[in-house]
Amino acid sequence: MRELLLTLVCYLVEQPDAVVVREEPAEGSIVFKIEVAPDDVGRVIGRQGRVIRALRAVMRAAAARAGQRIAVEIGQ
């Protein structure tokens, strides 16, 4: 799961070397926190949050196939 999210985010940003995806366990699920360069935050969020919503939808679908529950957040 982490590798999938890392790959997707790296294609969106201008500085893929600055992308960090942290995995934190939560109650009954896993929380993925994305950290990117300050100039790339807008690219990951997208207009009106469309890009991050799409990333969350893809990750939820992949997690459902694996029988897991996940959340995706942007952190700094």
Query: Which CATH number characterizes residue 42's domain?
Result: 3.30.300.20
Q: What pLDDT sits at residue 76?
A: 65
pTM: 0.89
**Range of the structural domain that residue 55 is part of:** 2-74
Tell me how many domains the chain contains: 1
SS (HEC) of the chain: CHHHHHHHHHHHCCCHHHCEEEEEEECCEEEEEEECCHHHHHHHHCHHHHHHHHHHHHHHHHHHHCCCCEEEEECC
pLDDT digits (tens, 9 = 90+) for 32-53: 999 999 999 999 999 999 999 9
